[in-house]
Amino acid sequence: MTTLRKPADRSFRLHGSLGKGVVLIHGLTGAPGEMKYLARQLHRRGFSVRAPQLAGHCADARALLRTGWRDWLDSVHAAFEALRSEVDEVYAAGICVGGALGIALAAERPELSGVAVYSMTFHYDGWNMRHWYSAVVPWLEPFANLPGIRRLSFREPYPFGLKDEKLREAVERAPHSVIDGALDRLPLGSMYQMHRLGQHVERVGSHVAQPVLILHAREDDMSDPRNALRLRAALAGPVDLRLVEDSYHMLHVDKQRDAVASATAAFFGAEEIGAARRRLRPPA
């Protein structure tokens, strides 16, 4: 009999002075460590930060497959509740699935003050993705619980969502050492849960009245900018959609990470620092 390895808790928090806090939500197969650079930049501007570890993450594929999108959202709810007891205003920001979870949280918690979504992904349809990835997932529903199907996985292809050459070379050499706890393969069963979360976001988008910042790389290798436009169309509240010109999918750690941090902080009410935000242009 095999036992599932219990993951170490890699969640972290930072206490700020602004009276505002941000729940930072990592991506599917990712880990809280990928949010550390953004967390430091927000903390410099006075924000408190909580970066939860999503349920099932940071162990192995078997542990991840035991969870679904609602379990991941429960992890975000818990972080929101903890942060709400410490600050006057709470915001959420997340990458890919993390951004979708932020929208789902906003739909259920109107007291959330705003959301930033990076690289929204309804489908993996970017320029570097194989076409069958997104085409096959909607057809998985009748077979989602069959072990022979849901355990099939694929490795994220080079350049791993990174335009920064040093970062992507580091990921290629030792993927586990760059982000502690991240998985280098995505099971189809979890990809299907991502698809279901996207459907949920579109269903509840009309209930999201909070302001939403959507940042998406124009050259996103994993999800085409049409995903950002689709999210904007689903939301009821004010939306600021901006395209990032010099990054790929992982834009919160990529070449424009400082501009992304500055835009996020300004959107959440911190004083804008420098001209970084002006480099994020609205779509044509």
Average pLDDT, whole number, for the chain?
89
First-last CA distance in the chain: 57
Q: Indicate yes or no: pTM above 0.85.
A: yes
Task: Write the CA distances from 245 to 41, 248, 281, integer angstroms.
Answer: 20, 9, 8
- What average pLDDT score do residues 63-86 get? 97
What number does CATH give the domain 12-279? 3.40.50.1820
31-50 confidence digits (pLDDT tens): 999 999 999 999 999 999 99
Residue corresponding to tokens 């997104």: 134
Considering only residues 151 and 267, tell me which one the structure prediction assigns the higher pLDDT: 267
pLDDT band at 275 (very low <50, low <70, confident <90, very high): very low
Strand, coil or helix: what is 67? Answer: coil
Note the pLDDT of residue 154. Answer: 77
160-184 confidence digits (pLDDT tens): 999 999 998 888 887 665 788 899 8
Please determine, for residue 278, whether its predicted confidence score (pLDDT) is greater than 50: no
Note the pLDDT of residue 204. Answer: 98
Question: Domain ranges in the chain?
Answer: 12-279
